[in-house]
Structure 1
């Protein structure tokens, strides 16, 4: 086995073992202090959608400009 493959397999082995990852990840969360209202939910979902779909929409709206060769 070449040296670089041995190095890659040695580095990747811990990441491929599931128990090694779950033992390191020790995140603890608590329930929220207050309930979210409908306005907060709508604003949050709207911002999330804008962040995901905004760049894609911009590219599709300006597709003809990107096709032009200068």
Structure 2
């Protein structure tokens, strides 16, 4: 990088830092409005597991057909 580019970045850095300060994470400090039941937790975790593992499983079962195409 040239010296002029580095100087330009150095001049913009304080302005960029100030623009990022007002943003705050949405952290909740209160308990949930309605507690999550055991059934809802099981359904949620099951769905996430299936959604994550199903494509990988399909790929692994069909990998031989992908090898034959090449």
Q: TM-score range by the shorter chain?
A: 0.5 to 0.7
Could you state the TM-score of these two structures normalised by the residue count of structure 1? 0.59
1:15-30 equivalences under 5 Å are: 21=20, 23-29=22-28
Q: Which residue of 1 aligns with 2:46?
A: 46
**Deviation >6 Å, runs of 4+:** none
Could you state the TM-score of these two structures normalised by the residue count of structure 2? 0.59
Larger-Rg structure:
2
Structure 1: gaps spanning 5 or more residues? none
Give the aligned CA root-mean-square deviation in angstroms: 3.3
Q: Which residue of 2 aligns with 1:62?
A: 62
Please give the secondary structure, in 1, of the residue aligned with 2:42: helix
Structure 2: gaps spanning 5 or more residues? none
